[in-house]
Amino acid sequence: MGLRADYVTRPREWIASILAREPRFLSAAQIHQGLERDGARVSLSTVYRTLDHLQGKGDITARPDADGEVTYMLCEPSRHHHHAICRTCGRVEDVDCAAMEQFAESLRARNGFELDGHAIEFFGKCGACR
Amino acid sequence: MGLRADYVTRPREWIASILAREPRFLSAAQIHQGLERDGARVSLSTVYRTLDHLQGKGDITARPDADGEVTYMLCEPSRHHHHAICRTCGRVEDVDCAAMEQFAESLRARNGFELDGHAIEFFGKCGACR
DNA sequence: CGGGATTTTGCGAATAGTTCGCAAATGAGG
DNA sequence: CCTCATTTGCGAACTATTCGCAAAATCCCG
Ligand SMILES: [Zn+2]
Ligand SMILES: [Zn+2]
Ligand SMILES: [Zn+2]
Ligand SMILES: [Zn+2]
């Protein structure tokens, strides 16, 4: 009772290693394909379960892509920050949250990232709900 | 041949009217339920097709929710702006894109919206892709 | 007000992504 | 090694979304 087990297994190591070397959001299917390419035989169910597991540990971030397919990336959501996503290759660069207004400039300066769009969502309580 | 037909039909009017009175993102299923509640019998397929149609006309915005289910709201995506989404009731208020830094303040002042979080995504080309 | 060409709808079947149940395999600990 | 809890694989079940096709609705024009 109490302690939650956290076995180290081949499938989990393989999946973590795929995520570790891809700085972009990957779908469960893409991860599964990556495993096959590496010669690692892991069921798709296990991929999903491992992703849930990693998400539970706070090791990965999940996000539905434009079509609603959920994608995952190694990234600590606990450290509040945002993402710059390359429209061409999908590469993700972390962006801290300090000065929003400077983002466009600093992004370019720091990462060579050429900004051409952004999406923002604010959350909170509307007047009626307070 | 050129002109694209754009029939005015009951289902389309009903669906548009549901969207018109809900300032929040609704899933196809929620819209379908709303139609039934109104006594309007429309198939779920038609709901999806009408949503595609409205999206094609640029009348609605679609966005996958956290679980990947796609949701829709009456909102012109052509006028670039962002959304403040109430964590409690889902109400969406439009926010223009001018001065990002002032958003938190102005949101509260203008709409009584109490901000407690935000998600931002930048898009563009990374250094490697340029 | 029809009549016919065109578009839209409903239905059920087909997809695609994700989850589940359960028996067999694996990892942790002694 | 042995034992027990956890994890895996497999196939079936689910859910959201899309499709094909015949029937119904809309529009246009006379
Ligand atoms: Zn990150
Ligand atoms: Zn790139
Ligand atoms: Zn809007
Ligand atoms: Zn609210």
- Do the chains contact at B122 and A69, CB–CB below 8 Å? no
pLDDT range class, residue B2, cuts 50, 70, 90: very low
So what's the pLDDT on residue A94? 86
Residues of chain B contacting A116 with CB distance shorter than 8 Å: 123-125
On the question of pLDDT at B105 being above 70, the answer is: no
Tell me if A27 sits within 8 A of A39, measured CB to CB. Answer: no
Residues B10-74, CATH architecture: Orthogonal Bundle (1.10)
- Using CB atoms within 10 Å of the CB of residue A98, give its burial: 0 to 12 exposed, 13 to 18 middle, 19+ buried: exposed
- Nucleotides in C strand less than 7 A from protein CB: 6-12, 17-21, 26-28
So what's the pLDDT on residue B72? 98
Residues of chain B contacting A73 with CB distance shorter than 8 Å: none
Domain residue spans of chain A: 10-74, 82-129
0.85 exceeded by pTM: yes
Q: Is B78 on the interface with A (CB under 8 A)?
A: no
Q: Is A120 on the interface with B (CB under 8 A)?
A: yes
Chain A residue with minimal CA distance to B69? A68
- CA of B1 vs chain A CAs: smallest distance (Å): 31
On the question of pLDDT at B119 being above 90, the answer is: no
Residues A82-129, CATH architecture: 2-Layer Sandwich (3.30)
CA of A25 to C1' of D23 (A): 45
Write out the two tokens for B95: 């926010």
The DSSP H or E segment spanning A29 is: helix A28-37
pLDDT tens for chain A, 130 residues: list them.
Answer: 445 579 999 999 999 999 999 999 999 999 999 999 999 999 999 999 999 999 999 999 999 999 999 999 999 888 888 888 988 889 998 887 765 656 666 666 767 778 788 888 888 888 888 8
Nearest residue for D26, CA–C1': B7
User: pLDDT per residue over B23-56, tens digit each?
Assistant: 999 999 999 999 999 999 999 999 999 999 999 9
Residues forming beta bridges with residue B91, ordered by sequence position = none
Q: Is A118 on the interface with B (CB under 8 A)?
A: yes
Please report where in the chains the tokens 């989990």 appear, as a residue. Answer: A12
The DSSP H or E segment spanning A30 is: helix A28-37
- Using CB atoms within 10 Å of the CB of residue B56, give its burial: 0 to 12 exposed, 13 to 18 middle, 19+ buried: exposed
Angle, in degrees to the nearest 10, between helices A28-37 and A44-56: 120
